[in-house]
Amino acid sequence: MRQTRGTLIFAIEGRDKSGRLGTFDVVVARKQFLWVRGSSDDLEKDGRVLAREELAKDVLDQEVRDGLSNAHEVIAVGAASQEGNPAEEKARAGRRAARTADIVSAAIGTEVPGFDSEPWPVSRAVSHV
């Protein structure tokens, strides 16, 4: 595991069913960054809502931005609470995944496609409840 100012980065390696090797860097924002409760757009850091124009820089520091800009592919994941209505929370997780893709786009200066598009650098925005 590597650590940066705002993230933890886990290097993962594995093989698919055909035996092909895949390597991934899983970038996770530190615990001081949270989604604002009930929001699909806003993040807070240490209890303070971050200005939208500052998100990419605050959440993804230069080392992470450099790594993402050199990636062959990026997968953005969104999560939501398990406490609410499952259908609503799954929908919120999907919106958060799309928002995460927007934040990554701003950080690396490249358009990150959403759910309906496949091209590099982000193939999918994935939701998880």
Average pLDDT per consecutive 10 residues, the chain (129 residues; last block may be shorter): 93 94 92 93 94 84 87 84 88 91 82 48 47
Residues 73 and 31: beta-carbon distance below 8 Å: no
Residue 74's pLDDT is what? Answer: 83
| 126 burial type by CB count under 10 A (0-12 exposed, 13-18 middle, 19+ buried) | middle
Pairing of strands 21-29, 33-35: unpaired
**What is the predicted pLDDT for the residue at 117?**
44
The pLDDT score that the predictor gives to residue 1 is: 94
pLDDT at 20: 94
> How far is residue 35's CA from residue 43's CA, in Å, rounded to a whole number?
4
Q: What whole-number distance in Å separates Cα of residue 45 and Cα of residue 59?
A: 9
pTM of the model: 0.77
**Quick one: how far is CA 64 from the chain centroid?**
12
**DSSP assignment letter at 111:** -
- Per-residue pLDDT at 55: 83
